[in-house]
Copies of this chain bind each other. A is one copy, B any other.
Amino acid sequence: MITNLKNIKTIISSKGVKATFQRIKIMEYLLNNKSHPTVEEIFIALVKQIPTLSKTTIYNTLNLFVEKNIVKTLNFSGVETRYDVVAKSHHHFICKRCRKIYDVNVECNFLCDENKVVNGNQIEEVTGYFKGICKKCLNNDKALN
């Protein structure tokens, strides 16, 4: 996926959102940092380039993107919300040790329940939250033995 200016503008404006400078920069950050960043992380990164940037703008923009189905939110622990550009449906793994969040691309058969009716309830969206210890932390454990 090439995240050049033209593509970013297209992603934003195709959903009927005006591609302003701040919105482009926020989307660019999300596309280049698939680490499911928080508002704080996005702010710290972008305020270096845009010293006048307001954190409120990031909240406004992300809320707008969510509303327009351009990004999705992740809520792991009840602390900061994390953001993910809408893409191929996938799930998430959080490491209990280092708190890093990884994409999980294993096929889950409940995915096929999206847009279906189960128990009379119409399902529009399914997200799997996996918790455990990540590869890197497991290896660190081994190194200590």
Which residues of A are interface residues toward B (Cβ below 8 A)? 73, 75-78, 81, 91, 93, 95-96, 102, 104, 106, 108-110, 113, 118-135, 138
Contact = CB atoms under 8 A, between A and B. Distances in A.
A-side binding surface: helix, strand, loop or mixed?
A: strand
A121 B135 CA distance: 5
A125 B121 contact: no
A127 B125 contact: no
Contact of A78 (B73, B104, B125, B132): B73
A15 to B, nearest CB: 19
Contacts of A121: 93, 95, 102, 130, 132-135, 138
24 contacts: A73-B78, A75-B78, A78-B78, A78-B81, A93-B121, A102-B119, A106-B113, A106-B118, A108-B109, A118-B130, A120-B138, A121-B130, A121-B133, A121-B135, A122-B133, A122-B138, A123-B130, A123-B131, A124-B131, A125-B130, A126-B128, A127-B128, A128-B128, A128-B129
A132 B102 CA distance: 25
Given A106-B110, A123-B131, 18 more contacts: A75-B77, A78-B78, A91-B110, A93-B118, A106-B119, A110-B128, A118-B130, A119-B135, A120-B134, A120-B138, A121-B130, A123-B132, A124-B131, A126-B128, A126-B129, A127-B129, A127-B131, A128-B128
